[in-house]
Every structure is written in C-alpha cells, then in structure tokens.
Amino acid sequence: MDIWDNEKRSQVMSRIRSKNTRPEMILRRALFARGFRYRVNDKRLPGTPDIVLPRYKTVIFVHGCFWHGHEGCKYATTPKTNTEFWVEKITTNRGRDKIHTTQLIALGWNVL
C-alpha cells in the first residue's frame, strides 16, 4: 500500500533527476580536480553516457542502484506496490544498459 495518493506519487516521481545527480556531481568534481577533462551526456553516443573522456576513449555511466537493479545492493529493492511494473521496468533498464555497453565497445570505447 502506497503512503501517497496517485497525484502526490506522480509529483514525487517527476522530481527524480536523470542528469546532474549527487553521485554524478561528486565523480565529475573528483575527475576535474585530478586534471581529467570530459563531456557530459553526449547524445552522439549510444545510451547518452553521463561522462565521456574523449582523450581516453572512455565513457562512464553513473547508474542508480534502484533504477538499474544492482545485485546485492541494499538500495536495489523492489517496491511492494505495483511490483509487476517495477520488475519489468528494472529488467528493461538492465537490458538497455547491456545493449548500450555492447554498442559502445563495438565502437571502440571503454565503458565504466
């Protein structure tokens, strides 16, 4: 049972960012401080990687544990409501991640 009604839940979910998340910003600051220069969310590459290091032909995806169903992670939980939807959603995300990784490797990129 959800603690919010559908309208409130929709509002909460719409506030979840896909770009410039806290983990992504921490990583970007650390890379920049160490002298790495990068591009952010390059749409020319499959999967629009979060960070692209062109000089090293490397891309970095900063995947959220919940949205990408990381194995063994305490944050990769399945919600108790609308479970079927969420299992399908996370499975689809993981499948898409594999496809993008395969495409990038085929193009000669290192994927992290």
- Does residue 34 sit within a domain? yes
Residues 35-70: pLDDT tens digits?
999 999 999 999 999 999 999 999 999 988 888 888
Residue 2 belongs to a domain? no
Question: Binning pLDDT at 50, 70 and 90, where does residue 1 land?
Answer: low
CA–centroid distance for 8 within its chain = 24
How many domains in the chain? Answer: 1
12, part of any domain = no
pLDDT of residue 71 exceeding 80: yes
Q: How far apart are CA 112 and CA 30, in angstroms?
A: 15
What is the domain extent for residue 94? Answer: 18-111
Interval 76-106: pLDDT, tens: 888 888 899 999 999 999 999 999 999 999 9
pTM of the full structure: 0.82
State the CATH number of the domain containing residue 74: 3.40.960.10
CB atoms within 10 A of CB 41: 14
Q: State residue 37's pLDDT score.
A: 97
Confirm whether 65 is domain-assigned: yes
